[in-house]
Structure 1
Amino acid sequence: MDGMTTGTLLELAAVAVGAGVAGGILAGLLGVGGGIVIVPALYFALSLTGMEADIAMKVAVGTSLATIVFTSLASGMGHYRKGAVDMGLLRLWGPSILVGVVIGSFVGGYVSGNVLIAVFATVALIVAADMILRKGRADPEPKGFSKPVWAFFGLLAGSISAMMGIGGGTIGVPLLNFLGYDIRRAVGTSAAIGFIIGLPGALIYAYSGLGIEGLPPFSLGYVNLLAAAVIIPLTTSFSQLGVKLAHSIPRRALRLAFGGFLLLTSLRMFIDLFGG
C-alpha cells in the first residue's frame, strides 16, 4: 500500500495500542490469545485506509497469530503458576491441534478473505450463544472420550483457530467447558494451547503473503511487524491483570462477559460481510 501516509500508520499504531491492552486483559481473563479482539480491531483499522477487505482480513489474522505466540506464553505461565493448566490434556490434545493449525493456515492464506470473515463471524456467534445460554454445572467432571475423538476435536480447534487468527481460547474454552472441564481449568489450558496455534500459524501466513501487492508498510507477508511490535508488549503485560481477574470473578459472570463481547464482534462482521 504505497500511498499509506504517516497519519494512517499512526492511526494503525493507535488502534494496535487499544487492541493490545484489551486483548491482553481478555487473554488472561478468558484464556483467549487476544486475537478475538485484535483481529476485528486491525481488520476495521486497515479497512478504513481503503485497503481491500480480502487483504485487510488476512493481515489482521496473520498479525494476530504473531502476537498470540507471546501473549499465550505470558498468560499460560500465569495460569500454570495457579495450577490451572492441565498438562495431561495438553499432551493429549497438542499434536492434533498442531496438524489442524497447519491445515487451517494454508487454507486461510490462499482462500478469499471473505471466507475468513464469514468463518470468524459464524464461529464467534455460535460460541457467544453457547456461553450466554448454557448454565455451567457446579461440579463439572471431564467426559471420557477416546483418543481419536480428542484428536478430531483438536484438528477442528486448530484449523478454525488458524483461519480466525485466534489462540486456543475462543474455540478451546467453550469446547473444554462442554466436555466437562471447569471453566478456570479450561481457560488456563487454552491459554497454553495458544502457543501451539500462534507460532506455526504466523509463519505460514508470513510465507503465503510474500510478494502480494497492496500490503501495508513493514509487512512480512500477511504479518504486519509494526502492529505486532506495538501489540505484543501490551498484551503480555496486561494479560497478567486478566489472570488475576479470572481467579477472582464468579464463573457465570466470566461466561456472560465473554459471550456478550463475542456477540457484538460477530454482528459487526456480518454487517460488513453483507453490507459491503
Structure 2
Amino acid sequence: MTTYLLLSLAGLVGGFIAGLTGIGTGFLMVVVIPIALNYLGIPGEEIVRFTIANTVFATMCSAFVNNISMWRTRQLHIKETALVSLVAVIFAGVILQFFVLKESYPTNIYNTVLIIFLSYIIYRTINKLRHAIHYEEDRSRIKLTLTGMSAGMVSALTGLGGGSIIIPMLNLWLKMDIKKAKSISFGAIFSISLMLTIINLLNTPVANIHYAHWGYILIPVALPLSIGVIIASPLGTGLSDKLSSKTITIIFLIVISAVLLRKIFELWG
C-alpha cells in the first residue's frame, strides 16, 4: 500500500511540475519507479526497460491534459510542434526498438547518459540566467529538425519524455521564449510518448513476470501514476500562465539539478 501511495504522490508532484515547466513527468518518475519495481520483484536486468516504459506512459497522460490546456488558452504553435514531433517520433521509435529493448542496455549506461545530458543542460541554463540578454528568435526548419532528433533520442534512451532537451534547445539555441518552448514541448512529448507506449505494449519482457500482461506497462505502477498526473498537470499549467519566464526557468533549473544529484548517487553511491 505504501508503494502505491508513493506512486500516486509522485504522479501528483510530477504532473504539477510538468505542467509548470513543460519538461514532462520523467524527471521524478525515473527516481520513484525503480523503487516500486524492486518492491514488485522485477528482475534487475529488466529494471531499466520497465522504468522507461512506465515513465513514458505517465508522461503521455500528463502531456495529453497539458495539450488540452494549451488548446483552451490558444497557446498552441501548430507548425513548429508538428515538425519537431514528427522527427522526434521517428528517431525515438528506432532507438527504442533496436537499442533500448535489447539486452545490451544496462543500468550504468542509462545513468551515465542521464548525468552527462543533465549536466550540460544545467550549465547552459545557468549561463543564460547570468547573462540575461534579449535575442531575436532564430527559428529555422533545420534547427527544429535537429531539436526533434535530439528529443527523440533522449526520450528513448532515458524515458524523460523529451521536454528536458526540447525546452533548452528552443530556449537557448533558437532563442524562443520559454513559454512558447513549453507549448511546443507539450505537443512533442505527447507524440513521442504515445508512439513509445505503443511499442512497449507490443514487446514482451525477457523475464517471465506473471502480472506483466501489457508488455512493459505494469498496471500496478502505471495506474496510480497516471491518476496523479491527470489531476495535477492542469494545475501546474494554470500557475505557469501567472509566472514570468525567468521564474519558470529557475524552477526548471532546480528540478533538473535534483534529478542529476539523484542519478549521481545511484551511479556512484
Quote the offset at 1:140 in angstroms: 4.8
Indicate the residue corresponding to 1:245 in structure 2. 239
Correspondence 1:72 to 2:86: no
Alignment root-mean-square deviation, CA? 2.3
Distance 1:214 1:15 in 2: 26
Indicate the residue corresponding to 2:33 in structure 1. 42
Structure 1 pair 255/223, CA: closer, same or farther in 2 (3 Å)? same
Quote the offset at 1:23 in angstroms: 1.1
| Kept after mapping to 2: 8 A contact 1:63/1:225 | no
- Output the TM-score relative to the length of structure 2: 0.88
Indicate the residue corresponding to 1:130 in structure 2. 124
Q: How many residues align?
A: 264
Quote the offset at 1:53 in angstroms: 4.6
The percent of aligned pairs where both chains have the same amino acid is 20
SS in 1 for 2:87: helix
Distance 1:226 1:45 in 2: 9
1:90 to 50, 75, 81: 81
Structure 1 pair 50/229, CA: closer, same or farther in 2 (3 Å)? closer
Which 5+ residue runs of structure 1 have no aligned equivalent? 1-9
Quote the offset at 1:33 in angstroms: 2.1
Quote the offset at 1:97 in angstroms: 0.9
Distance 1:140 1:44 in 2: 43
Question: CA deviation digits over 1:14-71, x for unaligned, max 9?
Answer: 2211110011101210112211111211123434667555422221110011122221
| Kept after mapping to 1: 8 A contact 2:150/2:165 | no
Map 1:107-256; keep pairs closer than 5 Å.
107-110=99-102, 111-135=105-129, 139-145=134-140, 147-178=141-172, 179-208=174-203, 210-213=204-207, 215=209, 217-218=211-212, 220-256=214-250
1:269 to 258, 263, 269: 263
Which 5+ residue runs of structure 2 have no aligned equivalent? none
Question: CA deviation digits over 1:227-250, x for unaligned, max 9?
Answer: 111111220121111011111122
| Kept after mapping to 2: 8 A contact 1:28/1:246 | yes
Distance 2:239 2:210 in 1: 36
Quote the offset at 1:109 in angstroms: 1.7
Quote the offset at 1:89 in angstroms: 0.3
Quote the offset at 1:196 in angstroms: 0.9
Distance 2:254 2:44 in 1: 25
Indicate the residue corresponding to 2:93 in structure 1. 102
Structure 1 pair 187/56, CA: closer, same or farther in 2 (3 Å)? same
Structure 1 pair 140/192, CA: closer, same or farther in 2 (3 Å)? farther
